[in-house]
Amino acid sequence: MIAALAEAVAAELGVTVSSAPNASLRTAFVDVLGPSPSEVLRDLDGPAVVVPAFLASGYHVYQDVPREVAESGHSAVAVTAAMGPDPALTRIMAVRLRGAGWKPGDAVVFAAAGSSDSRARQDVRRAAGMLAEQLDAPVKIAYVATGTPRVPEVVASLRESGAERVYIASYLLAHGLFHQRLHDAGADGVADPIGVHPGVVRLIVDRYRSAARELVGVR
């Protein structure tokens, strides 16, 4: 999914994605995959902008990314805010939820991956509040992997409270193990993840352009 998103962003910017040194757009990973941000940055000669592709700002954003930038030794790097929360993501989630069959009056579970970082959980609460406002309906936060309450528990609780139909809004970027778990949570429907949506592409491009202007002047 990250590769597809990178290609879409590159197309919007009119550049190409490549692993070659000094390519206009490169992808990097802060977990077990590679290359790491520090490895990519060490290949670059000119100013660089790092856009963290995370839906909330937790350990990766506050610790891993700055450490990687520092370890690279690169002298001209701007790091943008994470992707979420953002109204663009809220609008996409609302569209995905309606596409799954949700209608006003149906219960909504806001499903996030979860984090042990309180700042990331605060971002999730903000994102859930934005979706509730967008839908003009209450939403219940639940987590897939880290943190409580878990998604099946919240779905069951809503059933016990009298909800006839329960839908899950997926605050995940892509299909995968976490999203598959949502389909096993007992809801009437599960919205698709946010995915490679034009709104996501524009969000990343806007983050990049804003940081680039501050870093090297208007481009």
User: How many angstroms separate the Cα of 150 from the Cα of each of 103, 111, 112, 155, 197?
Assistant: 23, 9, 10, 9, 27
Residue 76: predicted pLDDT: 94
Residue 210: predicted pLDDT: 93
Range of the domain at 206: 2-83+197-216
| Same domain? 163 vs 211 | no
Residue 2: predicted pLDDT: 84
Question: Measured in whole angstroms, how far is the alpha carbon of residue 143 from the centre of its chain?
Answer: 14
| Same domain? 105 vs 12 | no
| Same domain? 111 vs 27 | no
| Same domain? 131 vs 99 | yes
Residues in the chain, total: 219
Total number of domains constituting the chain = 2
| Same domain? 91 vs 126 | yes
* Distance of alpha carbon 6 from alpha carbon 214, whole angstroms: 22
| Same domain? 121 vs 171 | yes
Residue 209: predicted pLDDT: 93
| Same domain? 105 vs 155 | yes
Residue 219: predicted pLDDT: 43
Residue 31: predicted pLDDT: 82
| Same domain? 99 vs 126 | yes
CA proximity to 77, closest of 38, 109, 114: 38
- The series of mean pLDDT values per 10 residues for the chain, 219 residues long, is 91 81 82 90 93 95 96 96 97 99 99 96 98 99 97 99 98 96 98 97 96 74
| Same domain? 133 vs 79 | no
Q: Token digits for 161? A: 């409270």
Residue 117's CATH number: 3.40.50.1400
| pTM more than 0.95 | no
Strand partners, 88: none
